[in-house]
Structure 1
Amino acid sequence: MANILKLCEDVLNGTKGGMHYKKIAEKIIILDSSVGNDLESVAKKVAASLAKNVSKTKGSKFARIPNGKGGHKAGMYKLKPKKKTGKKAVINTPINTLYTGKAGEYAVFSELLYWGYNPAMVTVDHGIDIIAAKDTNYFHIQVKTANEIGNKPYNFSIKKSSFNRYNNSKTFYIFVLRQQDKNRYFNDFVIISNNEIDNMIGFEIKETRDTYSFKIQKSKGQYELNGRRVIVNDFSKIK
């Protein structure tokens, strides 16, 4: 025979205000014929099982319903609300940066499709990862991906030789910010054009002999790239 408490849980799940044990018994009979069809007998089993469960000091899934006068409503039961742990998902195996980079490229590839672009992966990477077409226009896209590390900023770099090679084209750089929110992983995308980077050189971008450096900081849901506030996830910028 099916577990009475499990059937009670199934019946009460999603209900508001709880339910009388006889009403629970009626629904259990419909839900699982193996409990029998004698309402009085099933109701007694339901009442006994629920009463025993709520008397537990630990591990009880059910609760009596207060009557507002210091007691409880006769025969009425409800499910206890589930506690939210707020714990983040844990990856036991560190992710190789080569996998992270390629995953970021495919994440951008997917978004481009959603936004109506026709993307193609570049076989040999000379500073461009994806070529995307829309209408009669073609765009060069370089993808950079980084994983969230606590509250530290995301750090990226672009080779000067790569930037200069495509600086006269319709080129866009997409920074993929991989992060966690409670029990799920998600990406945010910062899209910036070669023209915007050109305007930042010498003022907002740190550089070495070979690279330009970018720091993206997230604070209260807002993003700043090298101190400049940026909008995320707006692929319509690619035009």
Structure 2
Amino acid sequence: MPSTQYTGKAGHLAIMGELCLRGYNVSMPEIDKGDDVFVVNDTSGAMWRLQVKTSVGRAQATSHAYQFRVRETSIQNAQTPELHFAFVMRQGHSWRYLVMDRPVLRNYVRNSNMGTLDAARGYRQLSVVLHNDGRAVCTTINLQNHLEDWNTWPQL
């Protein structure tokens, strides 16, 4: 198993490749201050900020389990342009993407207490389970509608 740096970079490149195939210009900032990928629609000039979290799944009887750690301030604090999250999951020999914008993630955290807060370290641990029947669950919350949700970046 490669180190977490290799896994993280692979997830960044996987999401960037998917966005390129959809017709968007993508880049990684030289300095990582929370933004992992910039996404640009060259025609309209629209730009999005993306934070990428990558995990290799642990196989279970009828599912795969993934662990993500996100800074609580990244979830709670609004920014301009708004931040989006891509939880990139390696399942066997393919990638799965759980995509949502920051306000949606914040609402899950505030309204449904999604994940586990480590207040001392300022991180929230998110445990996502991809079930073989297609469900994506985190803290009993069904996130299936966010799997491969490319509504923010439709095919150009």
Q: What is the TM-score of this pair, normalised by structure 1? A: 0.55
Identity %: 22
Larger RCO (CA within 8 A; separation ≥ 6) = 2
Count the aligned residue pairs: 142
Deviation (angstroms), 1:119: 0.8
Amino acid at match of 1:149: R
Residue in 1 that maps onto 2:19: 112
Residue in 2 that maps onto 1:225: 138
Does the aligned pair in 1 maintain the 2:22–2:153 contact within 8 Å?
no
SS at match of 2:53: strand
1:201 and 2:116 matched: no
Superposition map of 1:59-70 within 5 A = none
Classify 1:191/1:161 alpha carbon distance in 2 versus 1 (closer, same or farther; 3 Å): same
The counterpart of 2:33, out of the listed 126, 142, 153, is 126
Cα displacement string for residues 27-62 of structure 1 (whole angstroms, at most 9, x for unaligned residues):
xxxxxxxxxxxxxxxxxxxxxxxxxxxxxxxxxxxx
Aligned-residue CA RMSD (Å): 1.9
Amino acid at match of 2:26: P
The counterpart of 2:65, out of the listed 153, 156, 163, is 153
Deviates more, 1:106-115 or 1:197-206: 197-206
Classify 1:226/1:115 alpha carbon distance in 2 versus 1 (closer, same or farther; 3 Å): farther
Deviation (angstroms), 1:102: 0.3
Q: Specify which structure has the higher proportion of helix.
A: 1
- Equivalent-residue separation in structure 1 for 2:138 and 2:80 (angstroms): 23
- Equivalent-residue separation in structure 1 for 2:58 and 2:15 (angstroms): 21
- Equivalent-residue separation in structure 2 for 1:238 and 1:169 (angstroms): 15
Cα displacement string for residues 139-180 of structure 1 (whole angstroms, at most 9, x for unaligned residues):
000111111112252111111234455545321100111011
Q: Name structure 1 gaps, 5 residues minimum.
A: 1-93
Amino acid at match of 1:224: V
1:174 and 2:83 matched: no
SS at match of 2:107: helix
- Equivalent-residue separation in structure 2 for 1:119 and 1:132 (angstroms): 5
1:100 and 2:7 matched: yes
- Equivalent-residue separation in structure 2 for 1:208 and 1:159 (angstroms): 10
SS at match of 1:136: coil
Amino acid at match of 1:118: N
Q: What is the TM-score of this pair, normalised by structure 2? A: 0.81
